[in-house]
C-alpha cells in the first residue's frame, strides 16, 4: 500500500504512525465521554490514557522484538523504528493492565468499572490502528487466490511484494469493529462491573485465534509450530475471561442477595 504518507524536506510522515495517533485520540475521547456519563472525573481517565498509551507501545513493541529476537540481535538499531510497524497487541495489553492496576489503586477508583469504560474504546482504537498496519504492510497474510486478495507493490512495504495475500489487517479491523458493536450493545444491559472488559477479552481471544490462521508474517510458534504464540496466549485469556465473568457475576448476585 502506502507506508509513507508524505515527505516534507527531512520530515517523513508514516501512514502507520498517523493511524496509531488517530486510534489513541478516538479511544481517549470515547473513554472520557463514558467516564463522564458514570460520574467519574474525565481528567483522571485522560491522565490514565496517557500512561496506558506509553505502556501499550512499550509492551507491544517489547513482545514483538522478543518474538523476532534473531533479527533484532543482528539489527539492534531497528528496535526503535516502531513507525515502520511491529507491535504485538498482547504485549501491550499485559503492560497496560499492570499500569492500570497501579494507577487505579493509587486514585482509589473501582478497578472493574474503569476497565469497562476503556473496553469499547480499546476495540475502536484497534479497529482504526489496524488500517495503519494495512498501509505499512505489517501483520500481512498468507498467499491466496481469493478475489479480495491484496497485492503490495510499494518497496517500502513490510509485506512481500507482488504476491496476492490475505488482507489480514482488514480482517482484524473488522473483528475489532464487531467486538466494539457487541460491547456497545452489552453496555446497555450491563449487570456488573467488569462484564464489558472480560467480554472484550473473551471475544478478542476467539476472533484473534481465527485470524491467526491466515497470518503469513513471522508469528512465533508454540508448541512445535502447531499454534502461534498469540493463539496460545489467546487460549489462556479465553479461559481466564470465562472464569472472571462467572466469578464477578456470582459476586454481584451474592452482594444483591445480602442487601
The model's pLDDT over 104-130, given as tens digits with 9 standing for 90+, comes to 888 888 989 999 999 999 999 999 999
pLDDT grade for 255, boundaries at 50, 70 and 90: confident
Average pLDDT of the chain, as a whole number? 87
- Better-predicted residue by pLDDT, 14 or 102: 102
Domain of 52 in residue numbering reads as 4-191
Q: Is residue 257 part of a domain?
A: no
Q: Is residue 120 part of a domain?
A: yes
- Better-predicted residue by pLDDT, 258 or 153: 153
Cell (9 digits) for 35: 467516564
pLDDT grade for 158, boundaries at 50, 70 and 90: confident
Q: Is residue 63 part of a domain?
A: yes
Helix axes 42-67, 15-37, angle to 10 degrees: 140
Cell (9 digits) for 176: 475489532
Q: How many domains does the chain have?
A: 1
- Tell me, what's the pLDDT at 244? 96
pLDDT grade for 86, boundaries at 50, 70 and 90: low
User: Is the pLDDT reported for residue 30 higher than 90?
Assistant: yes
HSE, side-chain direction, 13 A CA sphere, residue 220: 16
Q: Is residue 198 part of a domain?
A: no
Residue 254: how many CB atoms within 10 A of its CB?
A: 10
| 97 phi, psi to nearest 5 deg | -65, -40
* Distance, CA of 78 to CA of 83 (rounded, Å): 10
Q: Rounded to whole angstroms, what are the CA distances from 158 to 75, 152, 255? A: 16, 9, 52
Q: Is residue 224 part of a domain?
A: no
**Would you give the DSSP letter of residue 39?**
T
Q: Is residue 225 part of a domain?
A: no
Q: Is residue 165 part of a domain?
A: yes
Residue 149: is it exposed, middle or buried by C-beta count within 10 angstroms (0-12/13-18/19+)? middle
**pTM of the complete model:** 0.84
Find, among 194, 24, 52, the residue nearest to 121 by Cα: 24
* Distance, CA of 118 to CA of 192 (rounded, Å): 15
- Tell me, what's the pLDDT at 84? 58
Q: Is residue 17 part of a domain?
A: yes
**Average of pLDDT values for 170-187?**
96
Residue 162: is it exposed, middle or buried by C-beta count within 10 angstroms (0-12/13-18/19+)? exposed
Amino acid at each position: 500500500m502506502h507506508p509513507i504518507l508524505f515527505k516534507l524536506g527531512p520530515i517523513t510522515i508514516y501512514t502507520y504512525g498517523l493511524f496509531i495517533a488517530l486510534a489513541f485520540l478516538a479511544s481517549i475521547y470515547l473513554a472520557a465521554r463514558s467516564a463522564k456519563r458514570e460520574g467519574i472525573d474525565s481528567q483522571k481517565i485522560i491522565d490514565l490514557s496517557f500512561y496506558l498509551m506509553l505502556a501499550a507501545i512499550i509492551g507491544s513493541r517489547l513482545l514483538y522484538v522478543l518474538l523476532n529476537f534473531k533479527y533484532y540481535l543482528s539489527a539492534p538499531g531497528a528496535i526503535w523504528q516502531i513507525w515502520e510497524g511491529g507491535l504485538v497487541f498482547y504485549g501491550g495489553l499485559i503492560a497496560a493492565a499492570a499500569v492500570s492496576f497501579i494507577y487505579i489503586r493509587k486514585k482509589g477508583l473501582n478497578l472493574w468499572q474503569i476497565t469497562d469504560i476503556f473496553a469499547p474504546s480499546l476495540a475502536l482504537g484497534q479497529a482504526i490502528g489496524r488500517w495503519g498496519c494495512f498501509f505499512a504492510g505489517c501483520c500481512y497474510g498468507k498467499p491466496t487466490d481469493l478475489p479480495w486478495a491484496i497485492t503490495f507493490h510499494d518497496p517500502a512495504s513490510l509485506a512481500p511484494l507482488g504476491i496476492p495475500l490475505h488482507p489480514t489487517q482488514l480482517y482484524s479491523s473488522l473483528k475489532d469493529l464487531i467486538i466494539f458493536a457487541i460491547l456497545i450493545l452489552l453496555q446497555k444491559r450491563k449487570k456488573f462491573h467488569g462484564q464489558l472488559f472480560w467480554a472484550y477479552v473473551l471475544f478478542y481471544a476467539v476472533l484473534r485465534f481465527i485470524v491467526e490462521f491466515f497470518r503469513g508474517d513471522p508469528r512465533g510458534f508454540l508448541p512445535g509450530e502447531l499454534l502461534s504464540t498469540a493463539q496460545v496466549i489467546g487460549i489462556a485469556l479465553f479461559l481466564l475471561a470465562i472464569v472472571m465473568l462467572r466469578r464477578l457475576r456470582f459476586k454481584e448476585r451474592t452482594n444483591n442477595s445480602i442487601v
